[in-house]
Structure 1
Amino acid sequence: MVLAPRAAHAQVPQAAQQHRALLTRTAHAVWGLDAPVAVFAAQVHQESAWRPDAVSHVGAQGLAQFMPATTRWISSLHPELVAQQPYNPAWALRALVTYDLWLYDRAPKRYSPYERMWVALRSYNGGLGHWQAEAASTGLVQPTLTQVDTACGKARRAAVHCKENLGYPYRILVVLQPRYLQWGPGL
């Protein structure tokens, strides 16, 4: 007998239901009809547990848990983000999917969509520059995702942050995403 992962049977928090239609519309508007809605929902679950008023111990704000500097920067990427309203669910969801697409587009094109999303999520959590420095630290022209992940902590990022940074995409893509597959496509 094969057992399904425990998370696949876990319920979607009630707080998430009120944001489902908005997240789906926003994801389709930014990424297109094949947007990985289940990934975005899992990411919001991880970031804020669907609490629009969430504030982390380091100052990240809202559903998407943007730091104030990231809020200012992301507002330059899309006209709908100019208002800089991290506690507004519509703004936060637009910012999250816009930033994820921006990061996804910078992941190596030779990687699979799943691997590119892994890179985007690691970068969302710990910075694209850190991921790029780790890729360069391998000394390889085209390192694999595994080779870059193995290089975590061997460039600018302190090794103490690697457990969290490597665990972030795993938790979203493997543990939480199955809860949200009924919302739309995943990876």
Structure 2
Amino acid sequence: MSRPGIGHWVACAIALLCGNVMAQAIPAAALQYRAQLTREAQFRFGIPAPVPAIAGQIHQESLWRAQAVSRTGALGLMQFMPATAKWANEAAAWGAVEPLNPTWSIRAGVWYDRWLYDRVKGHTECDRWNFALSSYNGGLGWTNRRKARSPDPLSWQATGFINPGILASNQHENETYSPKILLKHQLIYSSWGRTVCH
């Protein structure tokens, strides 16, 4: 498979931006979690925090439905798989594992975003966020395998499309996951803080 050129990425960005993004309003359900998300993001990422990116991630994961359960068994606002929720909870020592509790889900999700962000490298902050979100979606191990096959492992554009050995459907979901968040959903929440990739 050949590497998409810059024109491909520009066309994707334009298509995403023109796809009714500006017309979308912040969902009412999101407003009740804004303050907590802001506090958690500032605690983990500093000020100004990339709150819009994480809000866009929650938008993508659950559309702010605290009791969301996916067909694969992912739970809550941040759609934690049970094993990942248990591991994150043990790593951060929070007590009970409660992925359907919005407070727990936001705290754990932001913590996990930061944990992943600290373990990926990129030429730019945008590259790092793409790799971190890709890891959130598909696992850090697959991100590392993808990078190992890349001609430029610090570039999301050179690396994100590489299939590291997963099903084609999973690869498609993973390579479009972070661009949807950063180029589309994040923009809905741009008034909430510092955006990334813009």
TM-score with structure 1 setting the length: 0.89
User: Structure 1 pair 66/142, CA: closer, same or farther in 2 (3 Å)?
Assistant: closer
Which of 175, 179, 183 is the matching residue for 1:170? 179
Give the CA deviation at 1:86: 0.5
1:31 and 2:45 are equivalent in the alignment: yes
Instruction: Quote the Cα distance in structure 2 between the aligned partners of 1:85 and 1:136.
Output: 35
- SS of equivalent residue, structure 1 residue 76: helix
1:128 and 2:137 are equivalent in the alignment: no
Q: Counterpart of 1:151?
A: 162
Post-superposition, which runs of at least 4 consecutive aligned residues in structure 1 deviate over 6 A?
A: none
* Unmatched segments (≥5 aa) in structure 1: none
Give the CA deviation at 1:159: 2.5
Give the CA deviation at 1:94: 0.7
* Unmatched segments (≥5 aa) in structure 2: 1-16
Give the CA deviation at 1:54: 0.5
Give the CA deviation at 1:27: 1.0
Q: Counterpart of 1:180?
A: 189
Counterpart contact for 2:75–2:100, Cα < 8 Å: yes
1:94 and 2:89 are equivalent in the alignment: no
RMSD: 1.7
- Amino acid corresponding to residue 137 of structure 1 in structure 2: R
- SS of equivalent residue, structure 1 residue 9: coil
Instruction: Quote the Cα distance in structure 2 between the aligned partners of 1:115 and 1:4.
Output: 22
- SS of equivalent residue, structure 2 residue 166: coil
Counterpart contact for 2:113–2:132, Cα < 8 Å: yes
Give the CA deviation at 1:150: 3.1
Give the CA deviation at 1:111: 2.1
Which of 169, 172, 178 is the matching residue for 1:160? 169
Give the CA deviation at 1:4: 6.5
Give the CA deviation at 1:64: 0.6
Matches within 5 A, 1:60-139: 60-79=74-93, 81-108=94-121, 110-138=122-150
Percent identity (aligned): 41
Give the CA deviation at 1:65: 0.3
User: Structure 1 pair 150/54, CA: closer, same or farther in 2 (3 Å)?
Assistant: closer
Give the CA deviation at 1:141: 7.5
